[in-house]
Amino acid sequence: MKTICIPFFLLILITSSKTLAQNNGSASAKAKKASPTEVYNNPIIKDKYTADPAALVYKDKVYLYTGHDVPEKDFNFYRMNDWLVYSSSDMIHWQEHPVPLKVTDFSWAKGDAWASQVIEKNGKFYWYVAVEHGTVPGKAIGIAVSDSPTGPFKDALGKALITNDMTTKTKISWDDIDPSVIIDDDGQAYLFWGNTVCNYVKLKPNMLEIDGPIQTIDLPNFTEAPWIHKHKGYYYLSYAYQFPEKIAYAMSKSINGPWEYKGILNEIAGNSNTNHQAIIDFKGKSYFIYHNGSIPTEGGSFRRSVCIDRLYYNNDGSIKRVIMTSEGITE
C-alpha cells in the first residue's frame, strides 16, 4: 500500500482554509437570516387608492389608467370621481401624471368614475369609461379622446356610446360597465363590456360608433370586468368570476368564438371583493395587473390598490394560474 505524505505546512493550509470557508458559510447564512431583503412593490401606488387597472403599451412605455377610490371610510360603496394615469418604462417605477379625466368632463353623466380602458388608433387615444348616466337610468359607457396618452382628454361624443336601455338581457341598471377594447390585426375594433352578461359589439373605424348588433357571450359565472387580449394567435377573454371575485378566462381562435372556458386564473385578491384584471405583454414579458385591498390599515373592498405580478403561458397557449405576491415586479 502506498502512503501519500502531505507536508505539514500544506496540511495546516488545507485545514485552516476549510475552517474559513465553513465559518464564512455560516456567517453569511446568519446574515441572510438576520436581514432578509424585503421588497414590497405591491401595491404599486401607495399614496392613493387605485382600482380597475387598464394598461396600454405604447412605444417604449406602459400607460396605466386606474379608477380612484375616495379615501373616506364612512360608506360602503364604490365612490369614485375621477381617473388617474401613471406611466413606466420598466413596470417597477411609476410616474403619476396630472389627473387627466373626471366624471364632470362628461356633461351627461352624474357620477361613478368606474372601470375604463384606453386604446390608441392613428395617434389618437380613446378612453372608454363607465359612469352613471344623468338622464337614462343606469350605468353607461362614454368615450374621451386625446392626442396624447396622458391627456388632456375631452368628451368625444357629448353623449354616451352605450346606455342601459340598449342591453335588455338583464334587468339590472349597472350591467353596462367595464369596457374593454381591442383592435384586431385586420383593423376592426371591438368593444366588450358587461355585468352578469358579457356583451360585445363591432366599432366603426372612427372608434366612436357601434357597427352592428350587440351580441352576448355565454361564460360560466360571468360577473363583470371582461378583458380582451390577443397573444400568439389566440384570443383571450378573462373576466371576474362569482362574487367575491376570482378571475377566470376563456380562449378562442376567433374573436367571434366559440370560446373555450379554461378555468380560474387568479384567486380572490386579498381584502377585496373585486379583482379587476388587465393583461399585457411588454418588452418580452407578460403581466397580470389587478387590484386588492392591501394598503394598511384602511384598505379594503372600497379602498383598493393596483398590484402587478408576472403572467406565464403554457406551450399550448393556456395560462398558468397567477401567483399574487407582495414583492410584485422586481426585475
C-alpha cell at 221: 359565472
Nearer to ligand FUB, 80 or 207 (CB): 80
Binding status of residue 178 toward ligand FUB by CB under 6 A: yes
Q: What is the b/e burial string over 205-233, where b = at least 16 CB atoms within 10 angstroms of the residue's CB? A: eebeeeeeebeebebeebbbbbbbbebee
Nearer to ligand FUB, 16 or 289 (CB): 289
C-alpha cell at 192: 366588450
Nearer to ligand FUB, 114 or 200 (CB): 114
Q: Which residues contact 43 (CB under 8 A, 6 or more apart)?
A: 50, 291, 292, 294, 295, 305, 306, 307, 328
Instruction: Count CB neighbours of 316 within 10 A.
Output: 7
Report the C-alpha gap between 258 and 134 in whole angstroms: 37
Tell me how far, at minimum, the Cβ of 169 lies from ligand FUB, in Å: 18
Instruction: Count CB neighbours of 292 within 10 A.
Output: 23
Contacting ligand FUB within 197-226 (CB under 6 A): 224-225
Binding status of residue 177 toward ligand FUB by CB under 6 A: yes
Site string for ligand FUB, 224-263 (x = CB under 6 A): xx--------------------------------------
Query: Helix count (H) and strand count (E) of the chain?
Result: 1, 20
* SS3 state at 20: helix
Binding status of residue 128 toward ligand FUB by CB under 6 A: no
Binding status of residue 114 toward ligand FUB by CB under 6 A: yes
* SS3 state at 2: coil
Instruction: Count CB neighbours of 303 within 10 A.
Output: 21
Q: Of residues 44, 62, 109, 115, which one binds ligand FUB by CB under 6 A?
A: 115
Tell me how far, at minimum, the Cβ of 92 lies from ligand FUB, in Å: 24
Q: Which residue's CB comes closest to ligand FUB? A: 274
Contacting ligand FUB within 78-97 (CB under 6 A): 78
| Cα first-last separation, the chain | 58
Strand partners, 146: 125
Tell me how far, at minimum, the Cβ of 26 lies from ligand FUB, in Å: 49
Contacting ligand FUB within 38-67 (CB under 6 A): 51-52, 67
Nearer to ligand FUB, 59 or 180 (CB): 180
251: nearest Cα among 228, 274, 276, 272: 228
Report the C-alpha gap between 162 and 322 in whole angstroms: 32
Tell me how far, at minimum, the Cβ of 45 lies from ligand FUB, in Å: 15
Report the C-alpha gap between 121 and 61 in whole angstroms: 16
Tell me how far, at minimum, the Cβ of 248 lies from ligand FUB, in Å: 14
Binding status of residue 133 toward ligand FUB by CB under 6 A: no
Binding status of residue 293 toward ligand FUB by CB under 6 A: no
Tell me how far, at minimum, the Cβ of 195 lies from ligand FUB, in Å: 8
Any idea what DSSP says for residue 162?
Answer: B
Tell me how far, at minimum, the Cβ of 59 lies from ligand FUB, in Å: 28
Tell me how far, at minimum, the Cβ of 119 lies from ligand FUB, in Å: 18
Binding interface with ligand FUB (CB under 6 A):
51-52, 67, 78, 114-115, 130, 177-178, 224-225, 274, 276
